[in-house]
Structure 1
Amino acid sequence: MNDHTHHDSSDRSAEPVEVSSHNGHPDHDHDATNCRKCQAPSGSSSYGWLWVVGIIVIVAMALYFLQRNVPEVGDEGARLDGGATEKIVAIPLLDAGVYNVVVPTNARTGGIFGVDWDVSAPQSSTIKHTSIRWGLQSKASFDDYSNRTTDYDGGSFEIPAHFEANIQAPTEEGVVYLRAYAVIDGVDYQSDEYTVNVSR
């Protein structure tokens, strides 16, 4: 015979378990830590703030680039565009003639190069012709060159004014000789002779 006594578990009275509702959901009584319905979505508020910050950054960048691309006009005719300043200068009234001829030092064979020049007079007037006379040999007079530009050949052009023209360099290496020329009140005016070195 066994000396120890067996205790039947059925004789043990069950302790009452108190189950309470949580998070305002009285219709389901269980552990809130395992209840997806009761848990707030994780990170939902932080994602909302990220969207707001992202939109603000995009709008700020768009406004910045739009402002950079809008040219402004400053004092004394200075044009401000992308941080660079270009001075707009009127051509002064001078003795009748051709002034401020600008040519490149070098050009490529067969390429295009530009020439700038000013035409002025003691008072505002109009001219019917101005051009660049050029050739492959040095000449003492504008009339001796074999080529000329035709951008302002005929018409009515107010002076003083700034003029520009393009010249196609020869296909062979060498030197281009040129002068700016204008007819003012029926009188011929020419500039000094300038040279452009042409190479491959």
Structure 2
Amino acid sequence: MPPWRLYNPFIDWRSSTTNLWIVSSIEIIILSFAIVQQLLMDVFNVIYCLLLRVHLKNLRKRVQQLRTNPEETEQESYDELTKCITQHKLILEYVLNGTYADVVRLLFSFNTFVQFILIGAILGCTLVNLFFFADSLALFHSNWIGSSRRYKSTLIQFIHNAQQPITFTAGSIFPICMQTNIKVAKLAFSVVTFIKQMNIVEKLMKN
């Protein structure tokens, strides 16, 4: 059978081996395109931030080297400072108020919006199925009346086990829920506040 068994009303893969290969090839092409598009959407934000980090790092190095050359004239120092200002303006245009920034901001918002909508829709449909249809009422309404005592006790234990909540954990440690996300966000801000108050970054830069 085809690897993903996508619905194809035009070709019956059961009729011949050739049709099976054709249907499998079509599935591979379609899903490969979809996977590549999804990877591009996920990786684009990371690549954009890495490029921005490189630009800021280069600008910081140029600023640190201002007026460090004793053989440099005052005009040359001024020209170098002007170049740093120009580079800073380009970075701001790259991030805040340029045509490229508007395109990137649109892609950021669109990618995030689509991902949130898809995740919410898939999880919502799954949870609706779990909460309203995949319950233990079917066991209770089964034909257990008139059964033996052993059957009834086993059925009660089965119903009890079926009513236990199903939880997903990250690394078998943290439950995946809204409360965990809030705790992680609070922890991140606490770490930043601690580093800022203790001046750890300045101490590391001095060393």
TM over 0.5: no
State the TM-score bracket (shorter-chain normalisation). under 0.3
Larger strand fraction of residues: 1
TM-score by length of 2: 0.23
**TM-score, normalised with respect to structure 1:** 0.23
